[in-house]
Structure 1
Amino acid sequence: MLTAAHLQALGLDASWLDPLNATFDRFAINTPQRMAAFIGQCGHESAGFHTLNENLNYSAQGLRNTWPKRFPDDATANAYARQPEKIANKVYADRMGNGNEASGEGWRYHGRGLIQLTGKANYQAAGTALGVDLVSSPDQVAAPEYAALTAGWFWDSHKLNALADKQDNTGITKAINGGTLGLDDRVARTNKALAVLQG
């Protein structure tokens, strides 16, 4: 079990105590290695448990760099730049269970939570697993309880406890990120959490 003293040592707000403990209990994240890996990875993904909504405030150049097929020229990119809702509706249209750009589902189901839950199909799957309607109220995922539980659902569905048991930080990072972006920071956060939990 996490304690208030653990959270204080990790620099995390006390509001995370119950959500994290409920998540750890539900998904058998029940050893120091598993808990530390979860805290380290989620800490990286959420800028230290502070950012629970995806930042889609891209410049035109940022759009062209990130999604070159969807923003193939300056005119298209300029029409969307610095408009997060419009950007989400374009880049997430017709993907992950979302409707077309006009449906608004790209924005409605943009990334939220500690490990960003993105796309209507994922909100549906996580909600079904957790027994809560996240499709009708997706904003719940941007509050600690479901930010943690949806991350736990992702963790469990990708069998990350097994990788945490082996301290395979690279494997966990690839499962979450698709690559190894931020690996050094993820490892540093995991090691700090492990030291606190074992202290």
Structure 2
Amino acid sequence: MSEITLEQLTRLLTVPDAGAQAQKWLDPLNHAMAEWSIDTPYRQAAFLAQTLHESGQFRYLSENLYYSAQRLRQVWPARFPGEEKALQYAGNPQKLANLIYADRLGNGNEASGDGWSYRGRGLIQLTGRDNYQRCAHGLQLDLLRQPDLLQEPDGAARSAGWFWFENKLNELADPKPGHDPAEDFATISKRINGGTIGMQARIEYWDKAKAALGIG
């Protein structure tokens, strides 16, 4: 496996502190990719493209649950049919997480606090007690007691690598004769977020990553 270089990673970033950001993430990304067999330029380009998009270029490692009352009613109209209830949760990420993630993904009820404890974290946002537990086993980290490990570079990158491997995304990233790689890349996106949100941005990151790694 060839590790990505600082120069290659810096080329993928457009944030003002691109050099410092690349330096911070270079080793965690290389270690995670080595650990989870993301070991060819094709696999690395797809992985980098998806993680760059999901994390806003490695800046956002925890789910943003700060919503206005109006936005709550737009996103979850069944949960917030009226302004009164929406106002109770507006601007309160912890309370909102405990509501929307209650009694699902292995979480307890709203009062358990599991929704907030196991909200989306990492470069590919891991969500829910069950997923934290499975990832904890894979990484040999106590994520149920220390979920904030997924907001540190090593934990964020390793959990993304674990998710990638567990969901067989390496196989989709591998080129196949007579097969359109763009279709496989779209399937990767769907397995990560359940749809095609941000597809154009993901493709742009993918094109840049392929060019940086010499396969574009």
Q: Normalized against structure 1, the TM-score is what?
A: 0.96
Distance 1:136 1:26 in 2: 23
Single out whichever of 164-173 and 103-112 deviates more from structure 2: 164-173
Q: CA deviation at 1:109?
A: 0.7
Matched, 1:111 2:127: no
Aligned to 2:92: 83
Q: Given residue 192 of structure 2, which amino acid in structure 1 is its aligned partner?
A: I
Written as runs of structure 1 = structure 2, the 5 A alignment for 1:46-195 is: 46-166=55-175, 167=181, 168-195=184-211
Q: CA RMSD in A?
A: 1.2
What CA deviation, in whole Å up to 9, does each residue of 1:136-179 have, x standing for no partner?
Answer: 00001011101011111111111001111143211011101111
Instruction: Name the count of aligned residue pairs.
Output: 199
Distance 1:67 1:100 in 2: 18
Aligned to 2:31: 22
**Secondary structure of the residue that 1:133 maps to in structure 2?**
coil
Aligned to 2:46: 37
Q: Given residue 2 of structure 1, which amino acid in structure 2 is its aligned partner?
A: I
Give the one of 3, 26, 31 matched to 2:5.
Answer: 3
Q: CA deviation at 1:68?
A: 2.0
Aligned sequence identity (%):
52
Structure 1: gaps (5+ residues) = none
Q: Normalized against structure 2, the TM-score is what?
A: 0.89
Structure 2: gaps (5+ residues) = 176-180
**Secondary structure of the residue that 1:40 maps to in structure 2?**
helix
2:167–2:191 CA contact under 8 A, matched in 1: yes
Q: Given residue 92 of structure 2, which amino acid in structure 1 is its aligned partner?
A: Q
Aligned to 2:213: 197
Divergent runs of 4+, >4 A: none
2:12–2:205 CA contact under 8 A, matched in 1: no
Distance 1:7 1:121 in 2: 32
